[in-house]
Amino acid sequence: MSRSRTPANPTRCRVLTSPDRPTADLTDLQEAVLAVVEKLAPGEVTTYGEVAARVGTGPRQVGRVMAQVGHLTAWWRVVRADGSSHDPARSVPHWDAEGIPHNGRAVRFR
């Protein structure tokens, strides 16, 4: 993945490119959140609050970032504190493929 600053706003945005995702202009917060999520191994899940603690923001801000640009990463690996997903119907196939234990609505934390 190559990272370069965009000339329009060099202190706030970066352009991320990789073979598996399109180029996107991201804020520093968006980049930080995606970096944490990208470090999660298949089968591993975390909460919005845990991501927030790592990047120095709140869980609602992480939720906002995931709503905006979560499609650029493994969004199904980030769940609410109770283990539930914002979209269980779309999350379950990913959870099944990665062997993440769940009840069809929420993951079961190990």
Q: Could you read off the pLDDT of 40-57 as tens digits, one per residue?
A: 999 999 999 999 999 999
SS3 at position 80: coil
- Unique residue bearing structure tokens 């009840």: 103
86 pLDDT more than 60: yes
pTM greater than the 0.85 cutoff: no
- Unique residue bearing structure tokens 């202009």: 25
| DSSP tag of 91 | H
Which residues, listed in sequence order, are joined to residue 5 by a DSSP beta bridge? 14
Give 10's contacts (C-beta < 8 A, 6+ positions apart): none
- Unique residue bearing structure tokens 């917060």: 29
Give 100's contacts (C-beta < 8 A, 6+ positions apart): 43, 45, 94, 107
- Dump pLDDT digits (tens) for 8-41: 333 344 444 455 545 468 999 999 999 999 999 9
Q: Across residues 62-78, what is the average pLDDT? A: 97
Domains of the chain: 2-98 (1.10.10.10)
